[in-house]
Amino acid sequence: MKRLYSFLLPFMLVFSLFLAGCGGNTEMPAGNEVDALATMVAATVEAALDAPPADAPVPTLAAPTADAPAPTLASVPTEIPASPAPAVAQVLRVVYVKDGNLYLWTEGGGSVALTNTGDAVRVRISDDAQVVAFVRQLDDNFFTQELWAVNTSLPYDEHLLVSFAEMDTLLAASPFPSADGLGFNVLEWRPGTHQLGYGTVPLYEGPGSMPSEDVRFVDADTLAKSTLFDFGAGGRFRFSPDGNQLVLSTPDHISLVNVDGSNLRAEILTYPQVGTYSEYQYHPSPVWAADSASLRVAIPPEDPLAEPASPTVLWYIPTDGSPARQLSSIFASPFIWVDEYAFSPDLFQVAYVKDAGGNQQELHIAGVNGTSDYVFAVGAGLFFEQWSPNSARFLYSMTGMAEQGIFLGDGLGNSYTISSNPSTVGQMNWVDNSRFLYLYQNGANWELRISDVDGTNHAFLDTISEQYAAYDFVVADQ
C-alpha cells in the first residue's frame, strides 16, 4: 500500500453519484449536508491541445455557481488512452482491517473474513494475491507485536511467521536496551515470491523512536528465516521490480545490494543528514525504474530553513555500480518532502510544492532534468498526493480555509474538483489509470470505496470505524 504508515496516503469520489449507486449501503444525508455534497463535484475544463509551457498561466480550479448546477464527474474527459487489456483476466483484490480482523474484497465477489482475532493492525498482500501478511498487536498492547500470514482462499491456514518471543529476544540483543518493545517497520513482499522482507523499530511510550536499519526475511510458505543486515547495518529498503535487488536508504547514504547479499554497492550516494528540527530522522525515498536498472531520488538540503535557501537535488542512480549523477535541482518548500510519490511512474516528471509568499504555495510540475517547470496551481496548504500509473494524471489537495479540496490534474493543464472537503476523504490510492480506492467519512464511520474517474462504478466495499484503517490491494490473475 502506498502510504499506509505515512497515511500516505493516501480517493476519488463523486459523492452524489456514488450515494445513489450504492443503494441501501449509505443513507442519504439531509438538509445542509446535501448542499455540502452538491458542491463536491466541479465543472470540467476543456482540454488544452498541448502541455502548458513554462510561462503558461496557472489553470483555474472551476467551481459551480449558485445559479448553475455542477456537472458530474462523468463529464471529466477520458481522452487519455487506457492501458491495453491484459491477455489473462485480472481482478482487483483488497484486503483491509475492520475491528481488528482481516477481510478480503474481490472484484465481482464481495467480502469474506480471513481472521477473527480482533488484534490486526497492519496488512500486506502478495503480488499474486495468494497470501496476506499482517501484524498483530497482542492484548491491545502497543509494545507486543507478532507477524502472521493467512491464505486468501480455503484453507486460510492462518499461521505465525515471527513471534513476540523472537522479537523480545531480538530486542535484548539490540542497541535499544531502554525500549519498551520491538515492532515491525518496513513490510515488503519480494516480487514474484512469498518471501517477506521486514525491518524492525524500537517502540517507546514517549518520543524517540527511529528505525533499526535492519533487513530480515521470512518465507510465508516454508517459514525459513534469514537476516541480510543486522541492527544499524542496513537501512529502509525496497525491492527492485524484478525482485533481485534492494535499495537501502539511511539518513546520510544510499546503497544497493543483491537479495542474497552479494554485489554490495555501498554508499553509492552520500549526503549530509537532513535537519528535521525534531527527533525524527529523514530517510530519502528512492524510486526504482521499471526495468530495475536505475533509480531516482530527491535529496533535500541539509538545513531546510537556512538563508539563502538551498535546493533539493534530484539524482539518477544506476545499478551497475557507476557513480550517481545529478539530474537537476528544485526549490521546494521546507519540510514538504519530495518523496517517491512526487516522481511520475515513467520517471520523466516530478511534482513539488514551493512557497509563493503570503501563506500561499505553488504546485509545480517539472521534467526531472530541469526542463518544462511550470506552476500548475496556487493555494494555501497545497500538497501533492499521487500520480496515476500511466503518469498522465495526478491528485493534489488544498487545506487552506479560503479554498479547500481534493483535485485531479492532468498533463494537459486541466484541473477538476473531486471533493470540496478534504477532511472527509483519506488514504487515496490509484488502482489503475482510471480507478481509485479511498476512505470516505459518512457520519461517525469511514467507508472503504472505489470510484472511476468517468463517474461510474462507485462501489461500496465496507464500513470501517477507524479513520486510519489499514488496507492493501493488488490486481492479479483471476
* pLDDT range class, residue 455, cuts 50, 70, 90: low
pTM of the model: 0.81
Per residue in 407-418, pLDDT tens? Answer: 999 988 899 888
Q: Over 60: is that where the pLDDT of 69 sits?
A: no
- By C-alpha distance, which of 68, 33, 43 is closest to 408? 43
CA atoms of 249 and 78, how far apart (whole Å): 38
Handedness of CA 418, 424, 426, 429 (dihedral sign): negative
Amino acid in position 333: S
Per-residue pLDDT band at 210 (split at 50, 70, 90) = confident
Compute CA 186 distance to the chain's CA centroid, rounded to the nearest angstrom. 13
The number of CA neighbours under 13 Å toward the Cβ of 49 is: 0
pLDDT single digits (tens) 3-34: 433 333 333 333 333 333 333 333 323 333 32
| Percent share of the chain, pLDDT over 90 | 66
Higher pLDDT, 454 or 188: 188
Q: How many alpha carbons lie under 13 Å from residue 78 in its C-beta half-sphere?
A: 13
Q: Which domains does the chain have, with CATH numbers?
A: 15-477 (2.130.10.10)
Beta strands at 459-464 and 471-477: parallel, antiparallel or unpaired: unpaired
Q: Could you tell me how many residues make up the chain?
A: 478
Helix (H), strand (E), coil (C) string for 399-410: ECCCCEEEEEEE
Q: What's the pLDDT score for residue 209?
A: 66
pLDDT-based confidence at residue 358 (cuts at 50, 70, 90): confident
Question: Around Cβ 423, how many Cβ atoms within 10 Å?
Answer: 10
Task: Give me the residue label for grid cell 537556512.
Answer: 306
